[in-house]
Amino acid sequence: MGKLTVNLCGIELDNPVIPASGTFGYGYEFAELYDINELGTFSFKGTTKDPRFGNPTPRIAECYSGMINAVGLQNPGVEKVIAEELPRLKKCFHKPVMANVSGFSVEDYAYTCEKLDKEEQVGWIEVNVSCPNVHGGGMSFGTDPAAAAEVTRAVKAVTTKPVIIKLSPNVTDIVAIAKACEEAGADGISLINTMLGMRINLRTRKPVIANTMGGFSGPAIFPVAVRMVYQVANAVNIPVVGIGGVSTAEDVIEMMLAGATAVEVGAANLVNPYVCRDIVRQLPAAMEKYGIENLRDIIGGAR
């Protein structure tokens, strides 16, 4: 059997498959369906300093080969995540978990990251500067190299664990932003978050989503994600986590050939809650099919 292990920012993973933030809750919900320790790790639901109810409904719109969501970072806030969610997770997940953090100011990001950095279960901190579904936060930091670098420096100043900055595809120059984060001290880059999309109801002639626009995800964005992972992996010297439309073992291999060290699976979890488990189990056969003995050997192989 081929070797599936990879090393992400100094932490060994049994395999490169990671459910993406916002599609896997805080993990224990999926643990009722299968042993989530089969996964490399997972990125838990986007967490902010204060509790958030999220955006008004409707929040979801169907699309060809994907979906649009505007949930708006609904979460109980970092204090409750630490007090309630992480202890529940510890009972069913025995590996380091990736903490996903968002904010509405540089101070927000630093506060939340400093809190989560102290938690033994947290292996990496994934800093979301790319959420298109909230006003005044998230993506507004990720579309400007200087702003993304400022968040990176603030978070690195208060953390000891690897910091991975999650970038938005809704920009003209993804490489400039990735390099600014690297220079500011980021330990890794994850990309892409959702693209900005919209649907209109033909009967009401109004936007389907109450927020008007939302994050477009699913198989339709996979080629864009592969292209951006390839560009960034060629430009930085830190690990890249590939995200965007991944739904099969072959997609994982393609992302890794583009330069990803590990791969997150997002919207596919909402279609099939077993998809990440299935991808992990199907990877050995896919590796054999393409003559791959060790996944580490193919990282950036298309360059």
Active site residues: 131
CA angle 111, 238, 299 (to 5 degrees): 130
Q: How many CA atoms lie within 13 A of 206 on its CB side?
A: 6
- By the 8 A CB rule, do 40 and 96 touch? no
In the numeric block, which tokens belong to residue 92?
């069913």
CA angle 266, 271, 274 (to 5 degrees): 80
How far, in Å, CA of 234 to CA of 34, rounded? Answer: 37
Angle 249-258/222-235 helices, nearest 10 degrees?
A: 30
